[in-house]
């Protein structure tokens, strides 16, 4: 199928983007790398009257340290994250996750902001944002708004973003004590969306685990953290016995949802396997 007819603009700065969004309201859609939007247009799942292409807005580009946070501009591509020394040094979880996102050709165009805005429950970046306690920086006519990852994702493909707002960047805390991390995912073929995956971060002090965050992709109907399992693990000595207990506990907490290829029961089992691998890797790599 072909996309329906639409108008197209390529503003040069954020002020013009906000003005266009104000003027055209729900008739307009933002275009980032088009790696999701092109498909939904061609399938006529989306029929905007106007596409506002963000490619020329330089304020949305770049990876930089700003005080105690690392900021990733909304239009930074997956490839730029994959190739970034700053990311490798400060956010190695993202390096571990990025190779699971589709294939290099798609990663060359797909953007961090587009993936966070789309909020696919099986996508890698939303789970990483949750695991790393990231913050979404949104801009609207009233100015900037910072939304914690935990409050940003509200359901299946839905977020806290208002219709007249766009994501301009995401910020990640850096510089405190070194955090341990683990990323694991199962997909039917490499590059497919995850059947089940986990992004985890934690600190280990005197063998005890602290500040643990367990974020899931593909397992439930939205990017999601298993807060009860985190609470059950927090402050405990990380060993094989705790890992087994955590796996059993997770199975009672996870509201797994079936998809076209896996039942909820299979997903719950796979999540247990993912959790065990993630915690073992944190234990071995500290």
Ligand X SMILES: Cc1cc2nc3c(=O)[nH]c(=O)nc-3n(C[C@H](O)[C@H](O)[C@H](O)COP(=O)(O)OP(=O)(O)OC[C@H]3O[C@@H](n4cnc5c(N)ncnc54)[C@H](O)[C@@H]3O)c2cc1C
Provide the token pair at 108: 């060359």
- Which stretches of the chain bind ligand X, using CB under 6 A? 29-37, 39, 74, 101-102, 106, 109-111, 113-115, 117-118, 123-124, 166-167, 193
Q: How far is the CB of 193 from ligand X (least distance, A)?
A: 5
Q: How far is the CB of 257 from ligand X (least distance, A)?
A: 18
Sign of dihedral through CA atoms 165, 169, 175, 181? positive
Give me the residue label for tokens 């974020």: 215
Q: How far is the CB of 211 from ligand X (least distance, A)?
A: 25
Phi-psi region of 101 (alpha: psi -120 to 50; beta: other; left: phi over 0): beta
Please say which residue, 165 or 230, places its beta carbon nearer to ligand X: 165
Please say which residue, 117 or 182, places its beta carbon nearer to ligand X: 117
Q: Residue 180 and residue 171: Cα distance in Å, rounded?
A: 18
Q: Residue 87 and residue 177: Cα distance in Å, rounded?
A: 16
Please say which residue, 162 or 244, places its beta carbon nearer to ligand X: 162
- Residue 183 sits at φ, ψ, to 5 deg, of -130, 130
Q: How far is the CB of 199 from ligand X (least distance, A)?
A: 12
Give me the residue label for tokens 């797994």: 256
Please say which residue, 99 or 242, places its beta carbon nearer to ligand X: 99
Q: How far is the CB of 78 from ligand X (least distance, A)?
A: 6
Please say which residue, 129 or 233, places its beta carbon nearer to ligand X: 129
């Amino acid at each position: 199928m072909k996309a329906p007819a639409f108008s197209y603009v390529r503003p040069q700065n954020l002020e013009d983007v906000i003005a266009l969004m104000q003027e055209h309201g729900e008739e307009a859609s933002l275009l980032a790398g088009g790696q999701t939007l092109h498909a939904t247009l061609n399938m006529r799942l989306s029929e905007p009257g106007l596409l506002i292409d963000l490619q020329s807005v330089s304020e949305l580009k770049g990876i930089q340290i700003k005080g105690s946070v690392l900021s990733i501009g909304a239009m930074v591509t997956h490839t730029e994250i994959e190739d970034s020394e700053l990311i490798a040094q400060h956010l190695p979880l993202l390096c571990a996750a990025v190779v699971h996102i589709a294939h290099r050709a798609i990663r060359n165009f797909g953007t961090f902001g587009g993936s966070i805005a789309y909020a696919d429950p099986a996508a890698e970046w939303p789970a990483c944002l949750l695991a790393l306690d990231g913050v979404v920086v949104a801009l609207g006519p009233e100015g900037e708004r910072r939304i914690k990852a935990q409050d940003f994702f509200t359901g299946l493909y839905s977020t806290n973003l208002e219709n007249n707002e766009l994501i301009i960047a995401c910020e990640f805390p850096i510089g405190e004590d070194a955090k341990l991390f683990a990323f694991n995912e199962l997909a039917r073929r490499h590059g497919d969306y995850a059947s089940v995956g986990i992004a985890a971060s934690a600190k280990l002090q005197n063998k005890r685990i602290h500040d643990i965050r367990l974020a899931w992709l593909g397992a439930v109907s939205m990017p999601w953290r298993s807060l009860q399992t985190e609470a059950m693990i927090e402050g405990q000595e990380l060993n094989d016995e705790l890992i087994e207990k955590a796996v059993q506990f997770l199975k009672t907490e996870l509201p797994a949802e079936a998809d076209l290829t896996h039942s909820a029961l299979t997903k719950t089992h796979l999540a247990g396997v993912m959790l065990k691998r993630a915690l073992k890797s944190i234990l071995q790599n500290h």
